[in-house]
Structure 1
Amino acid sequence: MTTTIETNKLVMNSFVEFINTASEKLSEELISPNAVFFVPGQAEPMRGPAGYLAIIGMMRSGFPDIQWLLEDMIVENDKVAARFIMIGTHQGSFNGIPPTGKPIKVQAMNFYRLSSGKIVEEYGQPDFLALLQQIGAVPTI
Protein backbone atom coordinates (compact mmCIF):
# COMPACT_ATOMS: atom_id res chain seq x y z
CA MET A 1 0.00 0.00 0.00
CA THR A 2 1.41 3.38 -1.00
CA THR A 3 1.38 6.25 1.44
CA THR A 4 0.29 9.77 0.66
CA ILE A 5 3.94 10.85 0.79
CA GLU A 6 5.01 8.17 -1.73
CA THR A 7 2.07 9.03 -3.99
CA ASN A 8 2.89 12.75 -3.85
CA LYS A 9 6.54 12.06 -4.75
CA LEU A 10 5.37 10.09 -7.80
CA VAL A 11 2.99 12.88 -8.78
CA MET A 12 5.78 15.46 -8.54
CA ASN A 13 8.12 13.36 -10.68
CA SER A 14 5.37 13.10 -13.31
CA PHE A 15 4.76 16.85 -12.92
CA VAL A 16 8.36 17.51 -14.02
CA GLU A 17 7.68 15.50 -17.17
CA PHE A 18 4.50 17.54 -17.68
CA ILE A 19 6.15 20.97 -17.35
CA ASN A 20 8.98 19.92 -19.66
CA THR A 21 6.64 18.60 -22.38
CA ALA A 22 3.49 20.74 -21.85
CA SER A 23 1.49 17.54 -22.38
CA GLU A 24 -2.25 18.23 -22.22
CA LYS A 25 -2.82 14.57 -21.31
CA LEU A 26 -0.49 14.84 -18.30
CA SER A 27 -2.05 18.16 -17.28
CA GLU A 28 -5.45 16.45 -17.00
CA GLU A 29 -3.94 13.53 -15.06
CA LEU A 30 -1.93 15.62 -12.59
CA ILE A 31 -3.84 18.86 -12.06
CA SER A 32 -7.22 19.20 -10.41
CA PRO A 33 -9.80 21.13 -12.48
CA ASN A 34 -10.22 23.39 -9.42
CA ALA A 35 -6.48 23.93 -8.83
CA VAL A 36 -5.19 27.45 -8.22
CA PHE A 37 -1.71 28.69 -9.14
CA PHE A 38 -0.40 31.91 -7.64
CA VAL A 39 1.99 33.53 -10.12
CA PRO A 40 4.26 36.44 -9.11
CA GLY A 41 3.16 39.66 -10.78
CA GLN A 42 -0.35 38.40 -11.57
CA ALA A 43 -3.25 39.85 -9.61
CA GLU A 44 -5.43 36.77 -10.05
CA PRO A 45 -4.34 33.15 -9.78
CA MET A 46 -4.37 30.87 -12.80
CA ARG A 47 -6.80 27.94 -12.56
CA GLY A 48 -6.94 24.28 -13.56
CA PRO A 49 -4.96 22.41 -16.21
CA ALA A 50 -5.54 25.16 -18.80
CA GLY A 51 -4.16 27.75 -16.38
CA TYR A 52 -0.96 25.80 -15.87
CA LEU A 53 -0.57 25.22 -19.60
CA ALA A 54 -0.89 29.02 -20.00
CA ILE A 55 1.93 29.55 -17.48
CA ILE A 56 4.14 27.12 -19.40
CA GLY A 57 3.15 28.82 -22.67
CA MET A 58 4.19 32.21 -21.29
CA MET A 59 7.62 30.86 -20.36
CA ARG A 60 8.01 28.98 -23.67
CA SER A 61 7.13 32.11 -25.68
CA GLY A 62 10.34 33.72 -24.42
CA PHE A 63 12.39 30.55 -23.89
CA PRO A 64 11.18 27.88 -26.36
CA ASP A 65 13.81 25.38 -25.17
CA ILE A 66 13.13 25.88 -21.45
CA GLN A 67 13.50 22.85 -19.20
CA TRP A 68 12.93 22.48 -15.49
CA LEU A 69 15.22 20.28 -13.41
CA LEU A 70 13.91 19.17 -10.02
CA GLU A 71 16.86 19.61 -7.65
CA ASP A 72 15.23 19.14 -4.24
CA MET A 73 11.86 17.99 -2.97
CA ILE A 74 10.50 17.79 0.57
CA VAL A 75 7.16 16.05 1.03
CA GLU A 76 5.08 16.14 4.18
CA ASN A 77 1.49 14.93 4.16
CA ASP A 78 -0.30 16.93 1.42
CA LYS A 79 2.45 19.55 0.99
CA VAL A 80 5.50 19.57 -1.29
CA ALA A 81 8.34 22.06 -1.34
CA ALA A 82 10.36 21.87 -4.54
CA ARG A 83 13.48 23.64 -5.79
CA PHE A 84 13.85 23.73 -9.55
CA ILE A 85 16.52 25.01 -11.91
CA MET A 86 15.09 26.51 -15.11
CA ILE A 87 17.45 26.46 -18.10
CA GLY A 88 16.82 27.83 -21.55
CA THR A 89 17.69 30.41 -24.17
CA HIS A 90 15.99 33.80 -24.60
CA GLN A 91 14.77 33.32 -28.19
CA GLY A 92 11.42 35.12 -28.06
CA SER A 93 9.89 38.20 -26.50
CA PHE A 94 9.51 37.85 -22.72
CA ASN A 95 7.59 40.45 -20.70
CA GLY A 96 8.12 42.90 -23.57
CA ILE A 97 11.88 42.24 -23.74
CA PRO A 98 12.99 41.32 -27.27
CA PRO A 99 15.01 38.10 -27.67
CA THR A 100 18.71 38.37 -26.83
CA GLY A 101 19.85 34.81 -27.53
CA LYS A 102 21.30 34.70 -24.00
CA PRO A 103 21.12 31.52 -21.92
CA ILE A 104 19.41 31.45 -18.53
CA LYS A 105 19.92 29.27 -15.49
CA VAL A 106 17.48 30.36 -12.79
CA GLN A 107 16.24 28.84 -9.55
CA ALA A 108 12.60 28.56 -8.53
CA MET A 109 11.20 27.63 -5.13
CA ASN A 110 7.65 26.35 -5.42
CA PHE A 111 5.19 25.10 -2.83
CA TYR A 112 2.39 22.69 -3.72
CA ARG A 113 -0.64 21.17 -2.07
CA LEU A 114 -1.95 17.85 -3.39
CA SER A 115 -5.18 15.98 -2.87
CA SER A 116 -6.16 12.53 -4.18
CA GLY A 117 -3.02 12.34 -6.31
CA LYS A 118 -3.54 15.71 -8.02
CA ILE A 119 -2.05 19.17 -7.59
CA VAL A 120 -4.64 21.55 -6.15
CA GLU A 121 -2.46 24.57 -5.32
CA GLU A 122 0.91 26.09 -6.19
CA TYR A 123 2.77 29.13 -4.96
CA GLY A 124 5.57 29.67 -7.49
CA GLN A 125 8.61 31.78 -6.66
CA PRO A 126 11.01 31.87 -9.62
CA ASP A 127 14.00 34.18 -9.28
CA PHE A 128 12.79 36.68 -11.87
CA LEU A 129 15.46 39.21 -10.89
CA ALA A 130 18.20 36.72 -11.84
CA LEU A 131 16.33 35.88 -15.05
CA LEU A 132 16.06 39.56 -16.02
CA GLN A 133 19.73 40.12 -15.16
CA GLN A 134 20.81 37.14 -17.25
CA ILE A 135 18.98 38.43 -20.34
CA GLY A 136 20.38 41.94 -19.81
CA ALA A 137 17.07 43.63 -18.93
CA VAL A 138 18.25 44.61 -15.44
CA PRO A 139 21.83 45.49 -14.49
CA THR A 140 23.66 43.14 -12.17
CA ILE A 141 24.78 44.57 -8.87
Structure 2
Amino acid sequence: MTRAAAEPVSPIYIGAFDTPILQGRPSSWTTTECLGPFVLRQVPYGIRYLHATMRAVRELPGRPLETMLLTATLGPLRIDPCAGSEVELVLGPRDWSQPPVLFAVPGLEMLAEASPRPVFKRMSSGFK
Protein backbone atom coordinates (compact mmCIF):
# COMPACT_ATOMS: atom_id res chain seq x y z
CA MET A 1 0.00 0.00 0.00
CA THR A 2 1.30 3.49 -0.84
CA ARG A 3 0.19 6.64 0.94
CA ALA A 4 1.19 10.30 0.65
CA ALA A 5 -0.05 13.74 1.70
CA ALA A 6 -0.40 14.77 -1.97
CA GLU A 7 -1.74 13.16 -5.13
CA PRO A 8 0.85 12.03 -7.69
CA VAL A 9 1.38 13.94 -10.93
CA SER A 10 3.67 11.19 -12.24
CA PRO A 11 3.68 7.43 -12.00
CA ILE A 12 4.77 6.02 -8.65
CA TYR A 13 7.95 4.00 -9.16
CA ILE A 14 8.48 1.17 -6.64
CA GLY A 15 11.47 -1.17 -6.56
CA ALA A 16 13.06 -3.87 -4.38
CA PHE A 17 16.84 -3.56 -3.99
CA ASP A 18 19.53 -5.74 -2.40
CA THR A 19 20.93 -2.88 -0.33
CA PRO A 20 19.62 0.33 1.21
CA ILE A 21 21.68 2.23 -1.36
CA LEU A 22 19.96 2.83 -4.68
CA GLN A 23 22.37 1.45 -7.23
CA GLY A 24 21.93 -0.72 -10.26
CA ARG A 25 18.59 -2.18 -11.26
CA PRO A 26 16.00 -3.28 -8.73
CA SER A 27 15.47 -7.04 -8.42
CA SER A 28 11.73 -6.44 -8.83
CA TRP A 29 9.82 -3.28 -9.72
CA THR A 30 6.45 -1.87 -10.64
CA THR A 31 4.76 1.42 -11.39
CA THR A 32 1.30 2.57 -10.48
CA GLU A 33 -0.67 5.67 -11.42
CA CYS A 34 -2.39 6.21 -8.07
CA LEU A 35 -1.86 5.77 -4.35
CA GLY A 36 -3.10 2.56 -2.77
CA PRO A 37 -2.36 -1.14 -3.23
CA PHE A 38 0.52 -2.38 -5.38
CA VAL A 39 2.10 -5.75 -6.13
CA LEU A 40 5.77 -6.58 -6.64
CA ARG A 41 6.10 -9.89 -8.48
CA GLN A 42 8.97 -12.37 -8.31
CA VAL A 43 10.86 -10.65 -5.50
CA PRO A 44 13.91 -12.83 -4.74
CA TYR A 45 13.98 -14.40 -1.29
CA GLY A 46 16.24 -12.86 1.33
CA ILE A 47 16.75 -9.35 2.65
CA ARG A 48 15.37 -6.55 0.46
CA TYR A 49 14.86 -2.80 0.70
CA LEU A 50 11.88 -1.10 -0.93
CA HIS A 51 12.23 2.34 -2.45
CA ALA A 52 9.47 4.42 -4.00
CA THR A 53 9.42 7.82 -5.66
CA MET A 54 6.87 10.08 -7.33
CA ARG A 55 6.29 13.72 -8.21
CA ALA A 56 3.46 15.60 -6.53
CA VAL A 57 2.13 19.16 -6.54
CA ARG A 58 1.81 21.20 -3.38
CA GLU A 59 -0.34 24.30 -3.11
CA LEU A 60 0.56 26.89 -0.49
CA PRO A 61 -1.69 29.89 0.20
CA GLY A 62 -0.65 32.90 -1.87
CA ARG A 63 2.06 31.02 -3.75
CA PRO A 64 2.24 29.29 -7.14
CA LEU A 65 1.92 25.51 -7.37
CA GLU A 66 5.15 23.76 -6.44
CA THR A 67 6.21 20.40 -7.88
CA MET A 68 8.13 18.27 -5.42
CA LEU A 69 9.74 14.85 -5.30
CA LEU A 70 8.33 12.47 -2.68
CA THR A 71 10.14 9.29 -1.66
CA ALA A 72 9.80 6.34 0.68
CA THR A 73 12.30 3.76 1.91
CA LEU A 74 11.43 0.61 3.81
CA GLY A 75 13.72 -2.14 5.04
CA PRO A 76 15.45 -4.33 5.74
CA LEU A 77 12.60 -6.72 4.91
CA ARG A 78 12.96 -10.50 4.98
CA ILE A 79 11.25 -12.00 1.92
CA ASP A 80 10.27 -15.56 2.78
CA PRO A 81 8.75 -18.20 0.45
CA CYS A 82 6.28 -19.32 3.13
CA ALA A 83 4.81 -15.95 4.03
CA GLY A 84 3.01 -13.27 2.08
CA SER A 85 3.99 -9.72 2.92
CA GLU A 86 1.98 -6.55 3.15
CA VAL A 87 3.84 -3.29 3.59
CA GLU A 88 2.95 0.36 3.78
CA LEU A 89 5.11 2.89 1.95
CA VAL A 90 4.44 6.46 3.09
CA LEU A 91 5.89 8.88 0.57
CA GLY A 92 7.06 12.23 1.85
CA PRO A 93 9.54 15.01 1.10
CA ARG A 94 13.17 13.90 1.13
CA ASP A 95 15.38 14.77 4.07
CA TRP A 96 19.06 14.33 4.95
CA SER A 97 18.57 10.76 6.23
CA GLN A 98 17.44 9.31 2.89
CA PRO A 99 19.72 8.06 0.13
CA PRO A 100 19.84 10.08 -3.10
CA VAL A 101 17.22 9.20 -5.72
CA LEU A 102 17.46 9.40 -9.48
CA PHE A 103 13.95 9.97 -10.78
CA ALA A 104 13.33 7.30 -13.41
CA VAL A 105 12.27 8.30 -16.89
CA PRO A 106 10.66 5.43 -18.84
CA GLY A 107 12.40 4.70 -22.13
CA LEU A 108 15.49 6.77 -21.31
CA GLU A 109 17.80 3.77 -21.77
CA MET A 110 16.41 3.07 -25.25
CA LEU A 111 16.90 6.71 -26.25
CA ALA A 112 20.48 6.69 -25.00
CA GLU A 113 21.28 3.51 -26.96
CA ALA A 114 19.70 4.86 -30.17
CA SER A 115 21.33 8.29 -30.12
CA PRO A 116 24.60 8.70 -31.99
CA ARG A 117 27.69 9.26 -29.88
CA PRO A 118 29.42 12.61 -30.35
CA VAL A 119 32.66 12.53 -32.30
CA PHE A 120 35.55 14.40 -30.74
CA LYS A 121 38.53 15.60 -32.76
CA ARG A 122 41.94 15.75 -31.21
CA MET A 123 43.09 19.36 -31.23
CA SER A 124 46.60 20.64 -31.05
CA SER A 125 47.50 22.86 -28.13
CA GLY A 126 50.00 24.72 -30.28
CA PHE A 127 52.90 23.64 -28.07
CA LYS A 128 55.66 21.31 -29.32
Higher relative contact order, structure no. (Cα contacts within 8 Å, ≥ 6 residues apart): 2
Task: Judge same fold: TM > 0.5, yes or no.
Answer: no
Per residue, is there more helix in 1 or in 2? 1
Q: Report the TM-score, using the length of structure 2 for normalisation.
A: 0.33
Structure with higher Rg: it is 2
